[in-house]
Amino acid sequence: MRVGKGLDTRRSIIDQALRLASTQGLRQVSIGLLAGAAGMSKSGLFAHFRSKEQLQLAVLREASDRFIATVLAPALREARGEPRLRRFFDGWLRWETTEFPGGCPFQAASDELDDQPGPVRDYLVETQRDLFDSMTTLARVGVEAGKLRADLDPRQFAFEMAGILFAFHHTHRLLRAEDAEKQTRLAFEALLVRSRAR
């Protein structure tokens, strides 16, 4: 019973930390700040994570697990080619707009940690490389299935799709552009049109 309660407490702490990371940035997520937000003592929270670095790594691991469950896994259940790519694209848009109050925690962490060496940055880099590899694979499978152009470069497709989604983050979150989603979808449609098998 005590073990189950401990796991529930840990999940609750990480959930709160993810929300803070999305609005205030990952480096601002400290044991002291989170203890106050979670209504716990610092020593109680320290027992779960041992250090700020371990807390930040736990936050990124949870974000990665959630992204896989809510964006990548549903896309992989779709037919190869456009249906799979569209599901992934739509899932990422929902991730950006509904999962966290301040938008994607990976985006915030990328801005913060690009020049900060250490285990947290290393893990973030690993997750982003995995993301690009996954998008590249989605495109490659579409080519192999004959749904996308035979001469399509899957890595270039992944780069352009990611660029469109990163631009959405910027125009939606920072610029508060009312037509951010419309522009994003138009750009993605244009990418698909250029990529379809003829």
Give pLDDT tens digits for 81-137.
999 999 999 999 999 999 888 889 998 899 899 999 999 999 999 999 999 999 999
| CATH number of the domain to which 118 belongs | 1.10.357.10
In terms of residue numbers, what domain contains 191?
Answer: 53-195
Q: How far apart are CA 18 and CA 25, in angstroms?
A: 9
**Whole-number Å distance between alpha carbons of 142 and 85:** 9
63 contacts 106 by C-beta, under 8 angstroms:
yes
Question: Other CB atoms closer than 10 Å to residue 122's CB: what's the count?
Answer: 11
Q: pLDDT value at position 3?
A: 46
At 22, which helix (H) or strand (E)?
A: helix 2-24
Is 33 a domain residue?
no
pLDDT at site 178: 96
In a domain, 4, yes or no: no
39 belongs to a structural domain: no
Instruction: Give this prediction's pTM.
Output: 0.90
Confidence at residue 140, expressed as pLDDT on a 0 to 100 scale: 98
Is residue 173 domain-resident?
yes
Residue stretches of the chain with pLDDT short of 50? 1-3
Domain count, the chain: 1
124, part of any domain: yes
Angle (CA) 179-156-64 rounded to 5° is 70
Strand partners, 148: 196
- Any domain includes 15: no
